[in-house]
Amino acid sequence: MERTLKDLRLKENGKIIKINGSGPVKRRLMDMGVVRGTEVYVEKKAPLGDPIEVKIKGYSLTLRKEDAEKIIIE
């Protein structure tokens, strides 16, 4: 079963293995540094889990839950 960035718990980390989707959304994620092989760390989550703040490549990035579901984690 694939695990997505949305499934990571608070203060948990993972490694990006794939980004689902295509077109402008995938391109926007990749432009923000969300690329295969990158380590991510969940810093904060809103009470209902949307949005999620993660640390990628030394900076903080806030993602919507629907975007986090497209990022497959190892």
**Cβ 65 vs Cβ 74: under 8 Å:** no
Domain span at residue 62?
5-73
What is the helix, strand, coil percentage profile of the chain, to 5?
20, 40, 40
Residue type, 34: V
Please tell me the predicted confidence (pLDDT) of residue 64: 94
- Give me the pLDDT at residue 1, please: 75
Query: What are the pLDDT digits (tens) for 13-66?
Result: 999 999 998 899 899 999 999 999 999 999 999 998 899 999 999 999 999 999
CATH at 63? 2.30.30.90
Total domains present in the chain: 1
Residue 53 has what pLDDT? 96
